[in-house]
Amino acid sequence: MSNFDCNDQTEYEAYAKCLGKALCYIPTPTTVGLYAPWGSGINQLLHNVQKQMSLEVLSREKKEFARTRQKSRTTSGLGFVLLLLHLIFLKPQLTEKHEKRKNFRFIFVKFSAWEFAGSDKLWAGLITTLCDNIKDQFGCIPTSIVRSLGHQSTLEKCKFGSEWVSKKILKIPIWFIFSFLLLLALTLALVISIFGIAIGEMGNNFALALEGLGFGLIGCSAFLTMKNSLAVGKNMIVSQKAKMESLMNKTDFSAQLGFMNDIKQEVKVLTNFIKYIEVFERRKIRIVLEIMSLDRCTPDKVVGVLDAMNILLSDPDAPFISVLAVDPSIIVACVEKSNTFKGMADNGYEFLNRIVTLPFCVPQMDTQTKLNFIKQVVEGKNGLMEDAPMQPHRHEADKFQGNSLEIVPLMNVSSGEIHTSEQRNAKMKPSHHIQQAYQCLMDRDSNLHEYIEENFLQMRRIVNIIPIMTTLMFERNVPMSSFPPQRIAAWVILATCWPCRLSWIWQCLEDAVQREELNEEKGINDEMLLWTIYENSSENLKLIQSNIEKLLTLDGDPEIFQKFLSISYKFTVKDANIILPYTINLDSSLKRKMELLLGSKFLGRRATSSSENATRHE
């Protein structure tokens, strides 16, 4: 047993812990290539990484408070009002004090490329999703204020001094001007309440002059205030997302050379806003953009998202950590097939290396992680089942497991035995049989999990198929003594993991029956192993192998297939004849294609042989 097992920690959790800590120290902007085969539970790994980063944030917050005795601010409640006052009257500057801060706040933005696959501009969906999440995180008012009043000014760096300095007009602080005008307005209101409006009364020149001066100053300030308020209101209505969508909807969009520059400027505004919030909250902020399901999109859309990531990386001050969670083999194929990069990215791996600054290859799934995934799927299924306990008794499952090398003895079933099997099946419930099969899948001592690929979707398929097949066999009164739960689960795994090779065996069995009917050869013995059938027909398989390469890619490792049928689960011809009619997860079109290819090859051989014989006779 490994150290991870001893500590109740899987290898996936250990790798996620290390990656989560690394992302807390890595400089930004950066792109993390989280590489794993498609369907291998990469979302679960991302969840563990996010959890580890959150724990690291709490640890750093405590250390920073112990060092500075200064708490971080929040942007909710009274903190939100304080933030608005800071954004209106003050501007931040990057001090040495801020640079030395080690505490962080991570904002996680999930982008599922598959949800935007119907859009013509998938890459724009990435940018708009980012903008929307930032707006939802901090509110539309602060983002609109920065876009209207402060997006042109970049943050100045100073070694010492205050983190916030006053905005000035003619070297006069805005807060002072605002306070003065507010005081003037109150004074004017007081004068009017005492003396009334002095227009037309020549005797009270002092009140008239004071009112005129007050109305003039207030009018100018009101005009400026209204102008800025309208700008803020406009940006609240026309958000960054709406602005980019309007640019995309223009008819001459493809001809706009400056469009990408506009997008880059919007990203710059976003970066400046994050810098403002960093200084206000007294901690660093990192935007973690989790890009998922990109390997389910078409090649041109994949390339578009990679382009958008280049935009995010183009600003050296951007606080973005882009996590590209993909199957690299699929992305590389998309890049090489895309018309956009024709001649520019003939080698997809090289192109990917130009974008990714931290490649992280997810390790092979360890046993405990695989069992955890299977358990998650099974428990989700168990919640929908009736007439069955959630956790089967262990000793009942053990009766069906034992030594996987043993072959269950098969006998010819007479009509009387069929009647007996009907009575036996009637006493048992399908749900009980299904639960035992699930227990065999989850049992560490069983070897079934060794043959299941590291694919979460495939695990779900297996778990979903078992109850349907089992119930169907009960309905048709199949003698279940021949197929205890573990062997049903094993057969489902066989059909799921090696559909092409099992279809070939099925075709060989069918051909043997047909040749027997034509008296061309003796029938196949019912006790013959399926592996023997496969091995004896390997020469014929080679005849059509070049034509079924795409079908063979559906199968798992051929050596493991050999081990499965020749050592672990020695299914026989009789087993196959019983269970094949109920194997709902085996696509019959695979067998049909092999049948046609094999027939054409044999027909060609016979035609060649006939022509050779005719030539000899001549």
**Residue 490 has what pLDDT?**
95
Q: Is the sign of the CA dihedral 362, 366, 372, 373 positive or negative?
A: positive
User: Bigger pLDDT: 424 or 8?
Assistant: 8
**Residue 301 has what pLDDT?**
80
User: Bigger pLDDT: 88 or 361?
Assistant: 361
Q: What is the phi/psi pair of residue 412, to 5°?
A: -65, 135
**Residue 585 has what pLDDT?**
92
- Considering 219-233, 293-307, 375-389, 535-549, the range whose residues carry the highest mean pLDDT is 535-549
Burial class (CB in 10 A: 0-12, 13-18, 19+), 181: middle
Residue 153's pLDDT band (cuts 50, 70, 90): low
- Considering 378-387, 397-406, 592-601, the range whose residues carry the highest mean pLDDT is 592-601
Q: Cβ(34)–Cβ(69) under 8 Å?
A: no
Burial class (CB in 10 A: 0-12, 13-18, 19+), 411: exposed
**Residue 217 has what pLDDT?**
58
Q: Which of 219-233, 301-315, 333-347, 510-524 has the lowest mean pLDDT?
A: 219-233
Question: Strands 164-166 and 90-95: what pairing?
Answer: antiparallel
170 by DSSP, 3-state: which? coil
Identify which of 85, 77, 97, 246 has the alpha carbon closest to the alpha carbon of residue 159.
Answer: 97
Residue 147 token pair: 């876009």
Stretch 163-174: mean pLDDT, rounded?
79
**Residue 211 has what pLDDT?**
54
Residue 571 has pLDDT above 90, yes or no: yes
**Residue 607 has what pLDDT?**
46
Identify which of 82, 210, 27, 235 has the alpha carbon closest to the alpha carbon of residue 148.
Answer: 235
Segment 455-480, tens digit of pLDDT: 888 899 999 999 999 999 998 888 88
Residue 385 has pLDDT above 80, yes or no: no
Residue 38 has pLDDT above 90, yes or no: no
Q: CA-to-CA distance for 308 and 191, rounded, in angstroms?
A: 60
**Residue 2 has what pLDDT?**
40
Identify which of 526, 495, 493 has the alpha carbon closest to the alpha carbon of residue 512.
Answer: 526
Q: CA-to-CA distance for 38 and 368, rounded, in angstroms?
A: 19
Residue 494's pLDDT band (cuts 50, 70, 90): very high
Question: Strands 358-361 and 168-169: what pairing?
Answer: unpaired
Residue 267 has pLDDT above 90, yes or no: no
Residue 401's pLDDT band (cuts 50, 70, 90): very low
Q: Cβ(509)–Cβ(572) under 8 Å?
A: no
Residue 377 has pLDDT above 60, yes or no: yes
Residue 232 has pLDDT above 90, yes or no: no
Angle at the Cα of 150 (from 148 to 154), degrees rounded to 5?
145
Q: What is the mean pLDDT of the chain?
A: 77
Residue 496 has pLDDT above 90, yes or no: yes
Burial class (CB in 10 A: 0-12, 13-18, 19+), 558: exposed
Identify which of 284, 339, 291, 341 has the alpha carbon closest to the alpha carbon of residue 312.
Answer: 291
Q: Cβ(497)–Cβ(569) under 8 Å?
A: no
Place of tokens 């007009």: 169
% of the chain surpassing 90 pLDDT: 17
User: Bigger pLDDT: 388 or 437?
Assistant: 437
Q: Cβ(434)–Cβ(16) under 8 Å?
A: no
**Residue 562 has what pLDDT?**
94
Stretch 152-181: mean pLDDT, rounded?
75
Residue 303 has pLDDT above 50, yes or no: yes
- Quickly list H helices, 167-204: 174-195
**Residue 546 has what pLDDT?**
86
Residue 286's pLDDT band (cuts 50, 70, 90): very high
Residue 50 has pLDDT above 80, yes or no: yes
Q: Which of 86-95, 118-127, 135-144 has the lowest mean pLDDT?
A: 118-127
Residue 276 has pLDDT above 50, yes or no: yes
**Residue 529 has what pLDDT?**
93
% of the chain surpassing 70 pLDDT: 72
**Residue 5 has what pLDDT?**
42
Stretch 38-63: mean pLDDT, rounded?
86
Residue 560 has pLDDT above 90, yes or no: yes
**Residue 382 has what pLDDT?**
64
Q: CA-to-CA distance for 26 and 237, rounded, in angstroms?
A: 36
Residue 341 has pLDDT above 70, yes or no: no
Stretch 76-104: mean pLDDT, rounded?
84
